Amino acid sequence: MSEQIFEQIRDLVSGKECIEIRSAQVKTLFGIGVYLFSVEDRAVYVGASKSMLHRAFYRNHHKHSQIPDNADVTFFPCETIENANRLETLLIDTLQPTLNERKYRKESLDMLRQSLGQVNVNAYRNVLKSMDE
């Protein structure tokens, strides 16, 4: 293409960068997995979904308005929603994103442990996780 055409393209896209992505990648983004919003390598929000791209950018998502405009998003495709839920829990527990509200879960786990004794903690997490859905 000539330089004149490149200049016209630059003018039409208002100085924004062109994003190139393969169609197979787009299909993957509409599949099951986990999405992670981060700002300057600090986790802001982690979520799991049957359709990562749709859920991550759905306007009515309860956290949508709180995600900073400068946030990066990373997608982790998973084979099953169960794997996505496990990965979401692992990332939240490890990275402690600022917008994920997990304090009540830890408190609930502690209360359950005290009342039921020391049983499999993952079983508690799965029960608490299913209450959110």
Query: In this predicted model, what pLDDT tens digit does every residue of 58-89 receive, in sequence order?
Result: 766 667 778 888 998 999 999 999 999 999 99
Is pLDDT above 90 for 49?
yes
For the whole model, what pTM was predicted?
0.65
- Residue span of the structural domain in which 127 resides: 101-133
Does some domain include residue 37? yes
pLDDT recorded at residue 121: 42
Q: Is 122 found in the same domain as 75?
A: no
Query: CA–CA separation, 116 vs 108, rounded Å?
Result: 12
Indicate left, alpha or beta for 89 from its phi (over 0: left) and psi (-120 to 50: alpha).
alpha
pLDDT recorded at residue 115: 52
> Which residue has better confidence, 124 or 52?
52
Q: Is 108 found in the same domain as 89?
A: no
Is pLDDT above 80 for 9?
no
Q: Is 72 found in the same domain as 128?
A: no
Grade residue 13 by pLDDT with cuts at 50, 70 and 90: confident
pLDDT recorded at residue 53: 86
Which two three-digit tokens encode residue 73? 């998003």
